[in-house]
Amino acid sequence: MRLLLHGWVLGAVLLASGLPLRADTGNLGPWGDQGNGTYKNPVLHGDFGDADVIRVGGVFYLTTPTYHYLPGITLLRSTDLVNWDYVGHGLADFSGVGPLLGRDRTIPYGLGIASVALRYHDGKFLLYFTPPLQGLFVTTATDPAGPWTPPQMMMKGGWIVPSPFWDDDGKAWLLATSAVGKTEIFPMHPDGLSVDSPGTVLFPDALSDFRGGRLRKIGATYYLLRDEPLPGESGTVVSALRAPSPTGPWERRTILHTPKNRPADREPGAGVLVDGADGTWWFLARQRAYGNDGEGDHAGRPLHLLPVSWIDGWPVPGDADADGIGTLAWTSPKPALPAVPPHPPQTDDDFSQPQLAPQWEWNGAPRPALWSLTENPGHLRLKAAKPFPLSLQPKLDPGQFVQLIQSFLNPSDFFRVGNVLTQRTLGPGPGEIAVRVEAGGMTEGQIAGLALYWDRKYVATLGVVRNGGVRKVEFANTLTRRTDAGPEVSAGAVWLRASISAAQPSPDKRERESIPPSATFSYSFDGRNYTPLGDAFRFGWGENRGTRIALFTWNGKEQKEKEPGYADFGPFRYAFYGPSHPDAGAFSSQNLMP
């Protein structure tokens, strides 16, 4: 018997309301909560890929890997699966994880936290994470906002996609995929902190190419979901396995794909099933971008929320085709959960709290003595340091050697500085970013300001540079290899702004859906009248991340002063086309600063 639930109910609601049925406007239009009982995918239009989601009572918690950024392992919460708020991070620093990630090294691009899993068991939250070269770790907390316990290693070696699971009979299991691509299942101690014995390869034969996956038990059946490459061609599908026990035997079926008449970058990606506590099921999945090796785009790997129908005992996310395989659904009614006002995750900051707001992450391990939120209350103080050196160091270990080669490839000192504070860009544009910078504490050779960057070599900076005792505005763009000098900063403060254009439709949608946004930069001495400087900086994708915003300072010269120079930042404002700003035309003349 074919059982089809949830999907046709949602469609009937849309038809009755007069709203478009699954309107496919792609990633160029509105996103998130539309304020009329519907939402538009993606629900999180930014770098939130490879997420894991759980429900605890009436609250949903989401975690996503952060690679080399710190604090690491971003955590968000929601009560409706559409509007999300940052909660904090599960990892304060890399101490206790691995020596290759320390703050005495160049920034470990390509390393860090690659995959995560979040669970709630016996009154506590457990976070499992996998730095590729260090092992599989776990940390716990009674509150997702922290504090989290020091990380504890469960297994050595390279692992990805951890999936812990507690069965109805009290037995605990841990799934993970090894560095050689074999998915193994381990008996786990009931407290979730250790594995009891060696693992068993889960798919030794016909399913040996099935790697990773999130293990769920629904009714009496066990499910694993995973994205997989299409045989003989580019692109991916999402497949499900099901079995009567966590060790098999397993049967396999494709449950989500991209129809051939859709743009190629509408790729479905890895995701997780979550129940809405009202009998409905939902699938949260990242969207891949075909134009960048199937990985991400200028905003990263956006997160989609898809309603799930059940067909012959298989979960089918999104809209089911005639073949019973799901496709990405772009517009749907919101889950029947307590309503909240439409809003995106936090971005703005007046730096009035004694700790950093949870939207911020450092580009690598920061040096604590070189930043402060208390020395000038209401400001973020960043103190300048020299970039990590390019010269060879004695007794290089393999990790240092790799990072040294990387540093030679970086065309800007920006990518070799520890204390660069960053956050995600959100949405397809347009938008504006603005920050006030007090430059009176800068020393000779220092630069400080606002930046947008991606990969480990493309950055546009607008800042204040002090040379010859004079502070001047300066712009630099490594994409176009252009540098522009601005006027002298005679007063102590300058406002720096980046104006983001909207992504545009691609002329060839077989390759990708859209052309990324660009940003132009300007400065002001009163916070109201801005003067352009430099050229446009195109957004992009690299190092498993989309384009990011940064506040920075460094000093490449030997300092004669005993104390490092500093710059004070704040307030910071970021407005963008999204759930709380639905009018895309409102940004052309918006003044973000008081």
DSSP 524-565: ESSSSS-EEEEEEEE---BTTB--EEEEEEEE-SPP-SSSPP
Does position 593 have pLDDT exceeding 60, yes or no?
Answer: no
pLDDT tens for residues 106-157?
A: 677 778 899 999 999 999 999 999 987 789 999 999 999 999 999 999 999 8
Each residue's pLDDT tens digit, 143-195: 999 999 999 999 998 888 899 999 999 999 999 988 777 889 999 999 999 99
> Per-residue pLDDT averaged across 334-357, rounded?
94
The predicted structure's pLDDT at residue 330:
87
**14 in helix, strand or coil?**
helix
How high is the pLDDT of residue 476? 96
| Contact (CB, 8 A) for 182 and 174 | no
pLDDT of residue 201: 86
The partner residues of 75 in beta bridges, in order of sequence, read: 63, 88
Provide the whole-model pTM.
Answer: 0.90
Which residues, listed in sequence order, are joined to residue 117 by a DSSP beta bridge?
128
Give the angle 140-141-144 at the CA atoms, nearest 5°: 120
Confidence of residue 508 (pLDDT cuts 50, 70, 90): low
Peptide bond into 430 cis (omega under 30): yes
Task: Compare 406 and 94 and report the one with higher pLDDT.
Answer: 94
For residue 260, pLDDT beyond 80: no
With tokens 């005639």, the residue in question is 322
> 99 versus 314: which is more confidently predicted?
314
* Distance between CA atoms of residues 207 and 224, nearest Å: 12
> Is 80 exceeded by the pLDDT of residue 2?
no
Given this model, what pLDDT does residue 190 score?
Answer: 95
Q: What is the largest CA-CA distance in the chain?
A: 81
CA distance 427 to 313: 36
Distance of CA 352 to the CA centre of its chain: 25
Contact 518, 331 (CB under 8 A): no
Q: Which residue has the higher pLDDT, 411 or 28?
A: 28
DSSP-assigned letter for residue 551: E
- Read off the pLDDT of each residue in 214-237 and give the average, rounded to a whole number: 81
Predicted confidence at residue 231, as pLDDT, reads: 63
Q: Report whether the peptide linkage leading into residue 333 is cis, meaning its omega lies within 30 degrees of zero.
A: no
Which residues does 538 contact at the CB level (< 8 Å), separation at least 6?
Answer: 479, 516, 517, 518
Q: Is the dihedral of CA 363, 366, 371, 372 positive or negative?
A: positive
Contact 503, 515 (CB under 8 A): yes
Higher pLDDT residue, 126 or 17?
A: 126
Identify the top-confidence range among 137-151, 240-254, 500-514.
137-151
With cut-offs at 50, 70 and 90, classify the pLDDT of residue 12.
very low
Average pLDDT score over residue span 466-480 = 95
CATH architecture of 361-587: Sandwich (2.60)
Domain pair 7-16+25-333 / 361-587, same fold: no
Give the pLDDT score at 581. 56
Give tens-digit pLDDT for 29-76. 789 999 999 999 999 999 998 899 999 999 999 999 999 999 999 999
Q: What residues does each domain of the chain span? A: 7-16+25-333, 361-587
Give CATH superfamily name and number for 7-16+25-333. Glycosyl hydrolase domain; family 43 (2.115.10.20)
Choice between 579 and 186, residue whose per-residue pLDDT is larger: 186
* Mean pLDDT estimate for the chain: 84
Task: Kindly tell me if the per-residue pLDDT of 412 is higher than 50.
Answer: yes
Average the pLDDT over 302-320 and give the result.
94
* Interatomic CA distance for residues 486 and 473, integer angstroms: 5
Residue 515 confidence (pLDDT) above 80: yes
Residue 237 has a pLDDT of 84
129 — phi, psi (to 5°)?
Answer: -150, 160
Q: How confident is the model at residue 407 (pLDDT cuts 50, 70, 90)?
A: very low
Nearest CA-CA partner of 69 in 97, 128, 98, 109: 109
